[in-house]
Chains A and B, each alone.
Chain A
Amino acid sequence: MLILAILVTSLTATGIAAALTWRPWIGWMTAASSAVVLGLGVGLSVTSLSGPQWALHHSLRADSLSAFMVVVIGAVSLLATAFTSRTMHQELTSGVTTTRYARHYVVLTQVFITCMLSAVLTANLGVLWVSIEATTIATTFLVSHRRTDGAFEASWKYVILCSVGIALAFLGTVLIYYAQLHTSGVAHHASLDWTTVMSAAHHLDPRVTRIAFALLVVGYGTKVGLAPLHSWLPDAHSQAPAPVSALMSGVLLSVAFYGLLRFRAVAVAALGPAFPRALLLVVGLVSLLLATVMLIAQRDLKRMLAYSSIEHMGLLAIGAAVGTPLAIAAVLLHILGHGVTKSVMFLSAGEISHAQGTTEISRITALLARQPTLGGIFGFGLLSLVALPPFSLFVSELNMARAEVDAGLWWAVAISLVCLAVIFAALARHARQMLLGGAADVPPTALPTALPASLTTLLVGALVACVVLGLLTWPLQSLLVHAAQTVTP
């Protein structure tokens, strides 16, 4: 029931937004729908603890992992949609957009969110692929929403790179299906249904599954933003409106990663852990290294955040490579922590660039003096992003590292720790420039459109939530453990 309610809520909001012309309350309506989704997701998490839920003749399915992803999507989209009204207002007043495009924006955002929800709630791995591909289409328009040269260029690159990547994931899915058709021994009805695939996973032909999984890693990896197919990510994230960047970085990447997690379980069952581990480890480490070197001399605020997303996705891949229940639980916690933190970062970066009129790091100065609250949120968000306690990313990164060393990958941990330290240094340098750089005695400037208290509270609340998640066990632990079990042997 809850599953349907979630999708219906999101679809209803989409419908309303599509039916009416743009009004500020529509933005708030979408935020409310996100809040409802979040609430229903929490409810679903609770019920899913006792076993998977089904809906619509077994075409929708929610186990703890799906429920957890719904929570992530709900949380991040709540943050992002809450900023819709404000962003549209800013763009309308500055003439960047018109009410027509504002309506497009809201509708597409809702479509985007609905696609992600359907991706995690579907029982069918094929539909999962379709949903993720559909997000590409929705977000392409969102990336080009500002209709500048840069926005078009970014969305062009985005759609080309992602389409070709995700096509490979489709080929991988097909090969899994093919392998399943020809499983020896057990006679059963072949389908792309998750439970069916998993029940046959042990009998899948290893050679085909190997190729299939490799293609899936490349394909979904593109969407996750893993190197070497990451190149669309910095461009798209830097050109999209801030809430869209928040959604993309906060959940879209993770939803694609969710697909990888599912297929990893299949591959491990068919192949044993060695090959999936090696593959994920390589792409994870390459992504991490790439993000590291690109962050050192980064010049653009939003691109900086984008590369940081690549970094975190690399970490997730390394964690998933290990694939023990502890590692997966930590990976999931990391997904949530990263999602919330990164959306806070993108949203505040949006405010910053709007206020300062640039996203160039060297031209943003003395933020803490000019806008103490915004600067403070940004600063604490960065602290969370570099995984310092008490934020939850600290707990998840440490537990991933633990699991990795337990699996004998201490050298990978060593490499990633060095990368993380360099990234810390790089981000610290950039943060120094933006938060404290330049003239120190700048008085706080009262902006005509200073962040309203409600949104400030929301951002601060999100950071506090990160702290609570990193500090206390009760909200998540049982869900994480349960969810990890669904994709670990």
Chain B
Amino acid sequence: MSTTYVGVLELAAGAVLLSAVMTLWRRSVRAIVSMLRLQGVALSVVAVDLALHEHEHALLATGALVLVVKGVAIPALLRRIAQRDPRSRESRPLVNVPASLVFAAALIVLSYVVGTRITALAPSVVTNLAPLGLATVLVGYFMLVTRRHAVSKIVGLILVDNGIALMTFLLTSGVPLIVELGASLDVLLVVVVLQFLMVSMRHHSATDRLTEMKALHD
């Protein structure tokens, strides 16, 4: 087992989680999107690294797909949204930044506790990194819950998705290609849908505070 391979893998996986935590820390929407791009790239590095090591062509293709979708397409879309948005800051999160970071730490601990139960089945250098993916999922979800800005919400959603993708790569070296393809495209489509919604809303209605709408309730 080459150390470079492991080193790159650990670095990239760490970058995925780190960028997730960073999104919690940063307030500027543009910065958040950059973090997301970083994360997409790191994710594709993980996939490619694994693919090269295990000679999985399917996984290589997946890595490329991830790079295109999560490293390029989605951040670009989000950037476009953010540019049109006059208020491009996550001004008032429901849980403030320091507290968010504390929560994130707690969530990471939790993911290690849970993750070890998963990795215990087949412990190896690679699978042992899987808790990072779970932590990314939880941090992403946390972001989704606590951030008010529409773009932040979308980013949270993608973080969850990236975390899952990371786990997929680490645990199983990628699920069958068709599934992975479907999954990635679905994410892309969801983002497109969300973007479309935001645009239509802005076009259609006076308010663009999509996430603050509370007209539908009991």
Contacts and interface: CB of A to CB of B under 8 A. Distances in A.
Contact of A140 (B172, B183, B197): B197
Nearest to A239: B216
B102 interface: no
A147 B211 CA distance: 17
A424 B8 CA distance: 61
A235 B217 CA distance: 8
Contacts of B6: none
A303 B215 CA distance: 13
A476 interface: no
A207 B114 CA distance: 10
A385 to B, nearest CB: 19
Contacts of A438: none
A147 B197 CA distance: 10
B204 A152 contact: yes
B99 interface: no
Contact of A171 (B137, B153, B157, B201): B137
B182 interface: yes
Contact of A127 (B179, B189, B201): B179
Contacts of B190: 136-137, 159, 163
A179 B121 contact: yes
A130 B167 contact: no
A126 interface: yes
A436 interface: no
Interface string B115-130: 0011011100000000
B83 interface: no
B205 interface: yes
Contacts of B216: 150, 153-154, 157, 234-235, 238-239
Contacts, number: 139
B120 to A, nearest CB: 7
B197 A144 contact: yes
A181 interface: yes
B179 A126 contact: yes
Q: Give the 3 A-B residue pairs with the shortest CB-CB distance, closest first.
A: A126-B179, A130-B182, A153-B213
13 contacts: A126-B178, A127-B182, A140-B197, A153-B215, A159-B193, A160-B194, A171-B167, A174-B168, A174-B175, A175-B171, A181-B122, A181-B172, A182-B121
Interface of B: 114, 117-118, 120-122, 137, 141, 144, 153, 156-157, 160-161, 164, 167-168, 171-172, 175-176, 178-179, 182-183, 186, 189-190, 193-194, 197, 200-201, 204-205, 207, 210-211, 213, 215-216, 218
